[in-house]
Amino acid sequence: MTLLRKDRRDSDFLTTIAQIGVTTHPGGKEATKTLFEKLDLKEGDVVLDLGCGSGRTLTFVSQSYPVKIIGVELKSELAKEARQRTQFARDRVIVLKGDIERLPLRDNCVDCAFSESVLNFVNKEKALSEASRVLKREGQIALLEITFKDKKIDRINRLAREVFQVPQFEILTSEEWCQILKSFGFCVKSIQQLPYWWQGTDKEEALVEARLLIGLMMRWSLRRFLLTWRLLFALTRYSAIGLYWGVKEPVSTS
Ligand SMILES: C[S@@+](CC[C@H](N)C(=O)[O-])C[C@H]1O[C@@H](n2cnc3c(N)ncnc32)[C@H](O)[C@@H]1O
């Protein structure tokens, strides 16, 4: 059973949220603030948002720090939305439609790269290799990703792939994140886990989530929508919001 046209029924999660026109991430703005508290940003720094979605964090960063910000977003509808949302800071914010697995940026040009709920959807190796390429020496990286609290549960990853229809979607454990970050030349400085439903009582956040849930309900089959709830319950029980901070280590010449 679908409430809308049949051809929309099987679109993947990212296409669906692009149609709805708004994005968020677990933990919302409060989790973003926690992520940014541990970053050392200086005036004029270039900050990169990998998968900026509709640009809500671009807005937060541009209002909170005197930095230049680049958002990269795969979906043109969302890149357009992010551009409109950040019009007020046009001289400091630029939004590029692009793929974080092939960043449209030159080497060593970014002081800090961050990403919120994007890397689980992409090829992590390609995205981290690109982040490392564009970061300056000792540039900072900060990630917010759903992470298994304890051990990896393949059944949940399979369920998530069925719900999102993104074949490479994969949730990792904290240990796996540390390993993969190290293997791409990052020194992990700090990690933290927040409960999956950890969230401020932000009215705007609640409205965005309601808009997303109603949008999904209108576009997806009843079965897929019910699977989404099953996934949410499983994530609440077995996963957390993982926050990771690291620094790009200088390349060893020995
Ligand atoms: C869950 S949303 C989070 C968006 C945003 N970070 C936020 O917190 O609102 C995931 C976003 O990643 C984007 N995305 C997925 N794969 C991407 C890729 N390869 N390159 C750039 N963006 C990508 C999606 O289009 C979507 O906007």
pLDDT tens for each residue of 11-66: 899 999 999 999 999 999 999 999 999 999 999 999 999 999 999 999 999 999 99
Mutate to test the pocket of ligand 1, among 11, 12, 13, 14 (most ligand atoms within 8 A of CB): 14
**Of the CATH numbers 2.60.40.10, 3.30.450.40, 3.40.50.150, 3.30.420.40, which one belongs to the domain with range 25-154+167-200+240-248?**
3.40.50.150
Percentage of the chain modeled with pLDDT above 90: 87
- Residue 6 predicted with pLDDT over 80: no
CA distance 183 to 193: 22
CA distance 35 to 52: 15
- Residue 254 predicted with pLDDT over 60: no
CA distance 241 to 148: 9
Q: pTM of the prediction?
A: 0.94
- The per-residue pLDDT for range 116-166, each reduced to its tens digit, is 999 999 999 999 999 999 999 999 999 999 999 999 999 999 999 999 999
Q: What is the DSSP string of 218-235?
A: HHS-HHHHHHHHHHHHHH
Distance 99 CA to ligand 1 centre (A): 9
Q: What per-residue confidence (pLDDT) applies to 206?
A: 86
- Residue 4 predicted with pLDDT over 60: no
The answer to whether 185 and 199 are in contact (CB under 8 A) is: no
Residue with the nearest Cα to atom 1 of ligand 1?
117
Ligand 1 proximal residues by C-beta, below 6 Å: 14, 23-25, 51-53, 56-57, 72-75, 78, 99-101, 116-118, 121-122
Residue 141's Cβ-side half-sphere holds a number of Cα atoms within 13 Å equal to 32
Selected residue with higher pLDDT from 196 and 75: 75
> Which atom of ligand 1 is nearest the CA belonging to 25?
8
The answer to whether 157 and 170 are in contact (CB under 8 A) is: yes
